[in-house]
Amino acid sequence: HSPRAMPVFNLTLPRAVKALLERYPAETLKPGDVLLTNDPWLCAGHLFDIAIVTPAFRNGRLVGLMGTVGHVSDIGGTKDSLKAREIYEEGLQIPPMKLYDAGVPNETLFRMIAQNVRNGEQVIGDIQSFVTANVIGAERLEAFMAEYGMEDLGALAQVVQDLSEGAMRDAVRAIPDGTYTGTITNNPLGEVMTYPVAIRVQGDAMEIDFDGAPPQLAQGGLNSTLNYTSAHATYPLKCMLTPKVRGNAGCYRPFTVKAPEGSILNCTYPASVNIRTRTGWYLAPNIFQALADARPGDVQAFTGLAVASTVYGQDAEGAFYSDMLFCGGGQGGSERGDGHSALLWPTSAANTSIELMESRAPILVEEKALVADTGGAGRHRGGLGQRVVFRKLVSDGRTTLASVFPEGVNNPIPGLFGGHPGGMASGRILSSDDTVIEDCGTGKLVELHTPGERVELMLGGGAGYGDPSERDAALIERDLRLGYVTRDYVRRFHPSALTATQELAATA
C-alpha cells in the first residue's frame, strides 16, 4: 500500500479490483486496458471516489494490476447532501466498466461523465491523472522485474504478505483473549446516535463486531457501506499493532469485521452515502477506547474531525467552479505526547492550500488560525482546533453555495485515562462586523451573495490523554508562552502550575 494514500483508499481498493475482475476476468485483459468504477458498495463508500485499475504486463503476460482510488471535485447530484434520500440524488453511478480498451478510449463514457458533472474539464483531467499514475506504476513494475530477471510476482507477493500477516498475528496474540467493548456517540443530524463495538480476541485472530449499530438512515448521506466500515475499523488496528510494518493485504488477514445488514454501518442499496465520513470517522476512536486498557501505550484520544467545505457556483465569466476547502482539527493526545494541531485524521489527507483554493474559486480566506484553549486537557494535551473564515471575493451578482457541515457540534468526546474533551466545533455565517447572521447547527448548505456574508468554521480540538494534574510544568509554561493556552485554561485544569508570583503578574 502507498504510505501517502488515504487509508480507506488502500483498504477498499482490493475489493474494487475483485469486482472489476469479476466483470472483466484476468485472462481477457489486454495491454492498454483501463477499468473503473465508483460503486460505493464495491469501492470507497461514495460516488466521488473513483477506482482506476490498469493491468501490467511483462513479455506479453499479465503479471499484476496497478490501482488508484481518487476523489474527484464533482460527480453531479445534489450539493445539499443532508437532504439526499437515495444514491440516485447524489450523482453519477459508474458500474464496473472499461475506460480504455486496448488503448482506445471509451469516448461515450468520457462524454457521459463530462456531461453529468459541473466542471467536466477538471474532473476528466483528474481521471486522466489517475490513468497516467497507473501507467507509470506499471512501467516501473516491469522495469523492476526486468532488473531482477523476474517473470512472475506470485512468490514475492506471498513472502511479503505472509511476513506481514505473521507480524500482525504475533501482535494480536500478545493481547489477552477476551471481549473488549467501547461506545461512542455522534449527532450529525442534531440527535445523538450511539455506536457500540465489541472486539473479540481469540489467539491470533480478532473480530470487530458492530452489533447494535443504528439502522441506516432514510436521509442525509450518512450511511456507510460495509466496505467503508471495514476499512475504518481495521486501519486503527494496523496503526496500533504493527506501525513499523509496511501496509499490505497480509496485515489485515487476522481481522473480521461484522455489522448488521441494513444498519448505518452496513447499509443496503440504494441508501444515500455521500457524507459517510460523518459516521465512519467515529469508528477508529471507538476502537482505541475499547482497547485502551489492553494497549494503553498504542492508542490516542479522540481527534477533532476534519471538515470539507464545498464551494460551488459560476464565476463572472459564467464558468462553473466546484472545489473543497479541507481543514483538520486537533489530534488526540497519547502516551507518546501531545496531539498535533490542525491534523486531518483518519484520512491522512492534507489541509487545502489557501492559495490553491483561491485560484480555483472566487473566494477569499480571511483567517485560518489555531484557537487557544481548544486542546483537551490531560497529561498530554490534545492538539488545537482551528478557526477558518472565508467569503466571496467580490459582489458579482451570482450566488455561491457553500456547505457548512461542522463535525462535533455539542458532542464532547472524553479523553482517555482522565483526559478532557477538546474544544467543540461550530459553523456560522457572520457579517462583516462579526455579528452572527445564522448558526448552521450540525450542517447546512448556505447561499452567499455578497462579500459581507462570511463563513466561519470552528474545527474541534483533540481530547487529552491522562490526568491533567500530571502534566509537566515545563510543558504548561511552554503552552502559555506560545499562546496555545490561556491563564484561565491553566487555572481550570492545572491550578497548581500557576505560582503566586505568576498570579500577581497576571492581575497587575
Task: Tell whether 55 and 112 lie within a shared domain.
Answer: yes
- CA proximity to 17, closest of 125, 134, 121: 134
Task: Tell whether 43 and 13 lie within a shared domain.
Answer: yes
Task: Tell whether 307 and 431 lie within a shared domain.
Answer: yes
Task: Tell whether 278 and 414 lie within a shared domain.
Answer: no
Residue 99 has pLDDT above 70, yes or no: yes
pLDDT bracket for residue 502 (50, 70, 90): low
Comparing 351 with 204, the larger pLDDT belongs to 204
The verdict on residue 502 lying in a domain is: no
- Provide the grid cell at 347: 484520512
Give the H/E segment covering residue 505: helix 500-507
- Whether residue 399 contacts residue 321, with contact meaning beta carbons closer than 8 Å, is answered with no
From the number of C-beta atoms within 10 Å of its C-beta (0-12, 13-18, 19+), residue 451 rates as middle
Q: What is the pTM for the complete model shown?
A: 0.94
Task: Tell whether 40 and 140 lie within a shared domain.
Answer: yes
At 464 the pLDDT is 99
Share of the chain above pLDDT 70, in %: 98
Residue 84 has pLDDT above 80, yes or no: yes
At 501 the pLDDT is 40
- Provide the grid cell at 64: 499484476
- CA proximity to 180, closest of 281, 286, 257, 301: 286
Give the H/E segment covering residue 431: none
- Provide the grid cell at 442: 450540525
The values of phi and psi at residue 404, to 5°, are -115, 90
At 503 the pLDDT is 56
- CA proximity to 185, closest of 196, 197, 193: 193
Give the H/E segment covering residue 30: none
From the number of C-beta atoms within 10 Å of its C-beta (0-12, 13-18, 19+), residue 288 rates as buried
At 453 the pLDDT is 98
Task: Tell whether 306 and 448 lie within a shared domain.
Answer: yes
Give the H/E segment covering residue 54: strand 49-58
At 498 the pLDDT is 78
- Whether residue 395 contacts residue 414, with contact meaning beta carbons closer than 8 Å, is answered with no
The verdict on residue 491 lying in a domain is: no
At 235 the pLDDT is 94
The verdict on residue 487 lying in a domain is: no
Sign of CA dihedral 330, 331, 332, 338: negative
Give tens-digit pLDDT for 368-425.
Answer: 999 999 999 999 999 999 999 999 999 999 999 999 999 999 999 999 999 999 999 9
Average pLDDT over residues 263-271: 99
Which DSSP string do the residues of 439-497 spell out, in sequence order? Answer: E-TT-EEEEE-STT-EEEEEPPPPPPBS-GGGS-HHHHHHHHHHTSS-HHHHHHH-GGG
Residue 35 has pLDDT above 60, yes or no: yes
Task: Tell whether 318 and 455 lie within a shared domain.
Answer: yes
Range of the structural domain that residue 207 is part of: 175-297
Which DSSP string do the residues of 358-423 spell out, in sequence order? Answer: HHHSSEEEEEEEE-TT-SPPSSBPPPP-EEEEEEESS--S--EEEEE--SSTT-PPP-BTTPPP-P
The verdict on residue 161 lying in a domain is: no
Task: Tell whether 131 and 87 lie within a shared domain.
Answer: yes
Give tens-digit pLDDT for 111-164.
Answer: 999 999 998 999 999 999 999 999 999 999 999 999 999 999 999 999 999 999
Three-state SS at 69: strand
Task: Tell whether 438 and 364 lie within a shared domain.
Answer: yes
The verdict on residue 169 lying in a domain is: no
Task: Tell whether 224 and 290 lie within a shared domain.
Answer: yes
Burial 175-200 (b: 16+ CB within 10 A, else e): beeeebebebebbbbeeebebebbbb
Answer whether the bond into residue 346 is a cis peptide, omega within 30°.
yes
Average pLDDT over residues 81-89: 97
Number of domains in the chain: 3
Q: d(Cα 314, Cα 325) in Å, to the nearest integer?
A: 17
- Provide the grid cell at 147: 532488473
- Whether residue 8 contacts residue 232, with contact meaning beta carbons closer than 8 Å, is answered with yes
At 508 the pLDDT is 40
**Degrees to nearest 5, angle at CA 247 with 53 and 123:** 35
pLDDT bracket for residue 270 (50, 70, 90): very high
At 313 the pLDDT is 95
The verdict on residue 191 lying in a domain is: yes
The 8-class DSSP code of residue 177 comes to S
Residue 352 has pLDDT above 60, yes or no: yes
The verdict on residue 415 lying in a domain is: yes
The verdict on residue 466 lying in a domain is: yes
Strand 205-209 versus strand 255-258 pairing type: parallel
Give tens-digit pLDDT for 206-220.
Answer: 999 999 999 999 999
Residue at which a domain ends, from 253, 278, 297: 297
The number of CA neighbours under 13 Å toward the Cβ of 310 is 23
Residue spans of beta strands (DSSP E) within 248-396: 255-258, 307-314, 320-327, 363-370, 386-392
Task: Tell whether 289 and 306 lie within a shared domain.
Answer: no
Give tens-digit pLDDT for 441-473.
Answer: 999 999 999 999 999 999 999 999 999 999 999
Mean pLDDT of the chain: 95
Beta-carbon count within 10 A of 394 CB: 11
- What residues does 263 pair with on adjacent strands? 215, 266
- CA proximity to 38, closest of 65, 76, 1: 76
pLDDT bracket for residue 6 (50, 70, 90): confident
Q: d(Cα 405, Cα 327) in Å, to the nearest integer?
A: 12
Task: Tell whether 265 and 361 lie within a shared domain.
Answer: no
